[in-house]
Chain A
């Protein structure tokens, strides 16, 4: 069910004109932003790292707006009530949606790297291509599971968009997707360590640049994500009941 659900939600998402337009424009902007940021910082040698970081930002945006937006879209389409009415645990119903958003986010990574190569000549020479090929999907699946925890909030709130908008930039900033964590204030450290995005981004960066061992970071990312999945599943059951009591499954 999870596989069929994720596949069909990916199909539904990837056919949206808004998603297509966003997918065409955002990676170019992200790649440009990353390249100029690192050039201005006098570190042109780290352009690949910049492009990978920008790609991860795209994946995160997709998961965040996907989890929030997809739940909100389901509400607008009138399908949220229909899927929550299925005789399944609510988490199983929503997980395919968050996985689908992570899968469509993969495109953001690929497109950012491709635009970086085409427009700015960034060499795509990965230190460990095999680890990179494993770390990226691992990180994406991890973010999909993290998305379930976020989605539980969105099931309850009718205007979840406000929450997604406020979460986009702080998370990628704190996770060190583009700016090194060491450059951030010390109090952000514990927050960063608790986020699967930090460890996922680190694993992907390590695979791309060879700056450290990939597997421990990926392992921590997946472990935190699994914890998020478990917490999200419990939350989702609770939230589904709250939503039925508060009548927020429908638009009005």
Chain B
């Protein structure tokens, strides 16, 4: 058995497309530009990154759905290009969203079909399917058509499908996307239970709290390359020497945001919308008090609560991702 469940070296993937017949225009997008990573057996590994960073492409290269343009990868010691069937026998793949299931069939029929496809012996199928319904807490709803399921229930059914053949490695691509907080918590519990039983899990997510809670190590990917890799505690050090000011506001404009960004000592400034309000986050050097200047810049904007706090993993993530354009080579994780 290989020392690592997943190994990737110099993995690259370019998408090529052509539009138009008379004057065809060719377009190339480099989605993954040289990813190197190893994931140990039984590890729960997180891949974090913004939209279009290359997370899904990386997963699809590792799970054999895509062929790399360059580089190589092995799963459980098998090459993902040359030993496809060996890899597929050992992996499960679950992605987020509403798709990927047969809506007009019952949950049981869905699992029955995929059990056949994945070679689960006939005499074991009934028991295995019942076990999985129990694991993902869908017992009692097995015979309902999937089209009547909520997003959370579909996600749990996806996980059950991915586990039918007892894979050694499970790829979870944003499994909690669009799922309500209660269902997301249940999903996290299911994933944690899986990892506890020795299944290697590679999880991609947008949610820092999810990665922080579940993953032993996290790689931050942006612009097709890994920008930082380490334990959550190690990654948090990327925001060392900073402090965070959060301002609840109503009507912050682009000009004001740019002005805040230009203030001495300010490292990052961003606005997220939370319901009717905006949440302005300002990361600054720890020794510089920027609160008074920020509030002066926001003169005329209706403000709510103002909070100063220590940076979190999310702040470290924002710092890493925002540095991408300025950097050309991956950042080494800072030892904790």
Tell me if B114 counts as interface (CB < 8 A to partner A).
yes
List A contacts of B101 (CB < 8 A).
Answer: 77-79
Q: Are A244 and B113 in contact (CB under 8 A)?
A: no
**Total interface residues in chain B, CB < 8 Å:** 28
- A76-114 contact mask (Cβ, 8 Å, vs B): 1 or 0: 111101111111100001000000000000000000000
Q: Are A77 and B102 in contact (CB under 8 A)?
A: yes
Q: Are A78 and B95 in contact (CB under 8 A)?
A: yes
Q: A-contacting residues of B (Cβ < 8 Å)? A: 15, 63-67, 85, 88-89, 93, 95, 97, 99-105, 109, 112-114, 116-119, 161
Q: Are A85 and B100 in contact (CB under 8 A)?
A: no
* Interface-facing stretch out of A5-13, A39-47, A213-221: A5-13
List A contacts of B109 (CB < 8 A).
Answer: 8, 11
Q: Are A79 and B102 in contact (CB under 8 A)?
A: yes
Shortest distance from the beta carbon of B67 to any chain A beta carbon, whole Å:
5
Known interface pairs A5-B113, A78-B97; 7 further A-B residue pairs with C-beta atoms within 8 A, sorted by A's residue number:
A1-B116, A4-B116, A12-B105, A79-B100, A82-B93, A82-B114, A85-B93
Shortest distance from the beta carbon of B210 to any chain A beta carbon, whole Å:
22
Q: Are A87 and B102 in contact (CB under 8 A)?
A: no
Shortest distance from the beta carbon of A50 to any chain B beta carbon, whole Å:
34
What 4 pairs across the A-B complex have the smallest Cβ distances?
A78-B99, A86-B117, A15-B104, A87-B88
List B contacts of A16 (CB < 8 A).
Answer: 104
Partner of A87, one of B85, B100, B103, B112: B85
Partner of B89, one of A1, A82, A84, A87: A87
Q: Are B104 and A87 in contact (CB under 8 A)?
A: no
A77-B101, A78-B97 in contact; A85/B63 too (CB < 8 A)?
A: yes
Q: Are A8 and B112 in contact (CB under 8 A)?
A: yes
Shortest distance from the beta carbon of B132 to any chain A beta carbon, whole Å:
16
Q: Are A88 and B119 in contact (CB under 8 A)?
A: yes
Tell me if A207 counts as interface (CB < 8 A to partner B).
no
Q: Are A5 and B102 in contact (CB under 8 A)?
A: no
Return the chain A residue nearest B103 by Cβ.
A77
List B contacts of A249 (CB < 8 A).
Answer: 65
Q: Are B100 and A241 in contact (CB under 8 A)?
A: no
Tell me if A183 counts as interface (CB < 8 A to partner B).
no
Shortest distance from the beta carbon of A48 to any chain B beta carbon, whole Å:
35
- Distance between Cα atoms of A1 and B113 in the complex (Å): 8
